Amino acid sequence: MNHISNNALLSFALDLASAVTQPNRFEQLVNAIRATINCDAVVLLIRHHEVLTPIAQRGLSEDLMGRRFVINEHPRLKEICAGHYPVRFPSHSTLPDPYDGMVVGYGEHLPVHSCMGVPLYLEGELMGVVTLDSIQPGVFDEIDNRALEIIGTMAAMTLNTSMLMERLENQSQHAQDVLKVMNEQPSEMIGQSKAMQALKQSIQLVASSDFTTLIEGETGVGKELVARSLHEQSSRGDAPMVYVNCAAIPQHLIESELFGHVKGAFTGADRDREGKFLLADGGTLLLDEIGELPLEVQGTLLRAIQNQEIQAVGKDQVRKVDVRILAATNRHLETEVAEQRFRADLFHRLSVFPIQVPALRERKGDIPLLAGFFAERFRRKLGLQQLTLSVAAIELLEAYHWPGNVRELEHVISRAALFAKAEATKSAQKSGITVITPAHLTGLQINNNPMKKTQSNWLETDLPQADISQNSLPQHNMVETVDLREKTESYQRGLIRHALEKNDGNWTKAAQQLSMDRANLARLAKRLGIYVLKDIRSE
């Protein structure tokens, strides 16, 4: 029986009192609940409009923190949010559980058997919910309702206090936006790594100014996302942000695109047109791919930025504008300046405050969160009840070097979701849990060679230590059964062996070569049966 004594409630109250002063106050709140109520998993979610966002959890897979739950799409969460009292779901309930297959240590296909939710209200407003889950049926049936209501009330007050403390500590609009946990918007930046924390601090620092900002980074890292965050956190957030792709405009139309033109100014100008500067007046103008702008136009752009004046093509009159300039590029503009492909004066004008967006391989620990974020997005698009990632799939994603960065990860997860859906449909799976496995993660690039994986084959790269050769694969006109899990693990084993031998058994250097955290590499290697270098060489 999961009985809650008065002493347990007292301990819970003391734990909450100390939690608000801790830097990890939300995690402490979850730990206090789990210590009071016996369960396998606890999640603390806060509500913004009709979306619940996890801010702390224990007992579920890491990718949960990247997911956003639209209340109306999850019957159990909807029922919890609909009332003011704790809700227990019977073990035989047919309502799909949003965490099915995500309880750590129980496998991807095992559904939750006990589920309970506690709505967190303060002054009549629903702030969020706490969900508790257990693999064992009937765990929550005997808990006293009054005890649960007390826990919910104290948790809501602690949550509110914690959020206020967080706002006071950060002293910025950005911190307030994060604490409100906005609905799933394009500007939401998923990630908790040190690299992302530094990026968010830079954005927070410069957003409130009108400084011209140069955003640099590799293709696919999310430079436009950074620009949107800068705009939304600035005093211009309610004004328009206008986007210009400098690489996509024909050279003879660039000035017209930026500054506008009058009717008859050139062939095809059959009417007056306002340029992007004028459309962005009072707001922000993002000049994407600024490094592709021809030298002939750079001087005109420089004058417009310096003087905040524009002149439409074919018009003598000069017009004042109030525009904040953000520029983005995947080129190294200092090199472009040195090689005389970019004007030095324009470069210095643009880079008043440069921001470097980190590559995905530099964001240690963010890949599971991003994978969960994209998995939830594609679950909704594909109409799936539940879409999870297997442990092996997440390990493979973390081991990969991501030359295409976050955009590549999004595309990989979108393809994987389609493959997983097709496989689940074919097998007539009844649990409603669709699982992405390594076999579904197609198109990854290892040493510049695509790894193409389907449900019936795994094409190996040219690594010398790999266990799979092209000759061992089935021909296209043959039907052969292949153990994909075995092939996946064999491939991973070959990669790790090769990296270790290349680095004389140095695990730190091997992890760097594989773009992995050393601890993650050690865990993966242990699971695959790789322990020390002499074991590898003796096989």
At 31-47, the pLDDT tens digits run: 888 888 888 899 999 99
432 shares its domain with 484: yes
Residue 179 lies in a domain: no
pLDDT for 474 beyond 50: no
Distance, CA of 340 to CA of 455 (rounded, Å)? 51
Residue 234's nearest CA partner among 285, 166, 195 is: 285
Residue 233 lies in a domain: yes
- Among 333, 357, 381, residue at a domain's last position: 357
Residue 296 lies in a domain: yes
pLDDT for 455 beyond 80: no
List the CATH number of the domain containing 108.
3.30.450.40
Q: Express each pLDDT in 392-441 by its tens digit.
A: 999 999 999 999 999 999 999 999 999 999 888 776 566 788 999 998 99
94 shares its domain with 125: yes
SS3 for 429?
A: coil
371 shares its domain with 457: yes
Cα dist from 151 to 3, 47, 225, 304, whole Å: 13, 19, 39, 60
Higher pLDDT, residue 366 or 260 = 366
Residue 185 lies in a domain: no
Q: Tell me, what's the pLDDT at 313?
A: 87
Cα dist from 262 to 65, 250, 267, 270, 308, whole Å: 52, 18, 11, 8, 20
376 shares its domain with 484: yes
pLDDT for 165 beyond 90: no
Domain coverage including residue 232: 194-357
Distance, CA of 105 to CA of 489 (rounded, Å)? 19
pLDDT for 510 beyond 80: yes
148 shares its domain with 202: no
In the block, residue with structure tokens 């008043």: 352
Report DSSP state, residue 60: B
Residue 178 lies in a domain: no
> Binning pLDDT at 50, 70 and 90, where does residue 446 land?
low
221 shares its domain with 340: yes
The token pair that represents 356 in the structure block:
């470097």
368 shares its domain with 326: no
Q: Tell me, what's the pLDDT at 109?
A: 61
- Edge-to-edge strand ranges of the sheet holding 69-70: 69-70, 51-58, 41-48, 125-134, 114-122, 87-89
- Phi/psi of residue 190, nearest 5 degrees: -85, 125
List the CATH number of the domain containing 224.
3.40.50.300
Residue 107 lies in a domain: yes
Residue 366 lies in a domain: yes
529 shares its domain with 403: yes
Region 206-233: mean pLDDT is 93
Q: Tell me, what's the pLDDT at 380?
A: 92
> Binning pLDDT at 50, 70 and 90, where does residue 20 land?
low
Q: Express each pLDDT in 65-115 by its tens digit.
A: 999 999 999 999 999 999 888 898 988 888 988 988 888 877 666 666 789
Residue 50 lies in a domain: yes
Q: HSE on the CB side for 162, CA within 13 Å?
A: 27
List the CATH number of the domain containing 461.
1.10.8.60
User: In the chain, how many domains are there?
Assistant: 3
406 shares its domain with 494: yes
Contact status, residue 433 vs residue 109, Cβ threshold 8 Å: yes
Distance, CA of 483 to CA of 326 (rounded, Å)? 51
132 shares its domain with 230: no
322 shares its domain with 391: no
pLDDT for 226 beyond 90: yes
